[in-house]
Chains A and B, each alone.
Chain A
Amino acid sequence: MAGTNKVGIEVKRNWCKGCGICIEFCPKDVLGWDEEGKVKVVALEDCIDCKLCELRCPEYSIFLLEKEGHNG
């Protein structure tokens, strides 16, 4: 399945507690760790917009943005 670079991912870093749930369960390895142990987007182009990261984040700190042209 091809990724779409039309999606964006917003991370609310001040809420993220670095549990790694979004990172480990992302089917496409889109997410990784930053130097402070919080989440960072490492391969946006592979994202398939399945939203599992958003749905499983216990802190509501990662969101898939609407596709371009909708609300940016």
Chain B
Amino acid sequence: MEILDSFRTDKFPHIWCSGCGHGIVMGALVRAMNKLDLDHDKTVIVSGIGCSSRATGYLNFDTLHTTHGRALAFATGIKFSEPELDVIVITGDGDCTAIGGNHLIHAARRNINITTIMFNNSIYGMTSGQYSPLTPQKAKATTAPYGNIEPNFDPCELVQGAGATYVARGTAYHIKKLTRFIKRGIEHNGFSFIDAVSQCPTNFGRKNGFKSAVEMMQWQKENTITIERAAKASEKEVKNKILVGELHHNNRPEYTANYEQVIEKAQKGGDN
């Protein structure tokens, strides 16, 4: 029950619907932080807007619940002014890839040492189920009653292309893996992105033929494949499956460290 120390338990039960995957992902985050023994007074958690972003209200840290899509912009400011703080961003798929898409691209490009956990339920849950950029094509949403005509995209490929140096995907079902990836993401010095596939039984599930949260997690189990397995599997086996695992990991100079060097140079005076 150690994890309860990391929560503001006087605010429980939380607002999320019964079976919502966000509670599971938030649990994974707290367990990952506990494994790393992070100093609770030196860890800041920042979120945007949406169901996922209400998480900051329950976490017993310095927490900042910002405006729609802007969690990474605020987090960049915090990390920039106090680089010794551990900064973690909680965002949803709508928040992160639609209105916050450019912040995401440029945080990745800068390789700023922030860990972003995207609670990905493929829908705007809080506002009752409008399709997001990650809603699968053909899925139903309040704004797509005949099925979504827009193709979704892979946010992990996007951030990798933009320059993120740690990229992983887990699911609420694959809870141990998810916890491990979040832990590695926090440990990593650079921009880390964890796509945490979650479920919204209320506003995605009901419209798309899922009778319960349990069925949605069963779906996560059946429609994913680990990158280790995928490497050996046939093309047919991998087709249409969601890859779970550490998708990308490398090292390059980190943004705030680069900036420190500029400060040093400027303070010495002389040529720039």
Write 30 A-B pairs (CB below 8 A) sorted by A numbering. A10-B1, A15-B13, A17-B17, A18-B18, A19-B19, A19-B212, A19-B214, A20-B212, A20-B213, A20-B214, A21-B214, A21-B217, A25-B217, A55-B24, A55-B31, A55-B175, A56-B24, A56-B173, A56-B175, A56-B217, A58-B16, A58-B19, A58-B20, A58-B21, A58-B23, A58-B24, A58-B213, A59-B13, A60-B3, A60-B23
Interface flag for A34 (CB, 8 Å): no
Interface flag for A52 (CB, 8 Å): yes
Known: A15-B13, A19-B214, A63-B1. 20 other contacts (CB 8 A): A14-B13, A17-B19, A19-B19, A19-B213, A20-B213, A20-B214, A52-B175, A55-B27, A55-B31, A55-B176, A56-B24, A56-B172, A56-B175, A56-B217, A58-B19, A58-B23, A59-B12, A59-B14, A60-B3, A60-B7
Residues of B contacting A18 with CB < 8 Å?
18
Expressed in whole angstroms, the Cα–Cα distance for A52 and B23 within the complex equals 14
Which of B7, B13, B28, B175 interacts with A17 by CB under 8 Å? B13
Chain A: CB-nearest residue to B31: A55
List chain B positions with a Cβ less than 8 A from chain A. Answer: 1, 3-4, 7, 12-14, 16-24, 27-28, 31, 172-173, 175-176, 179, 212-214, 217
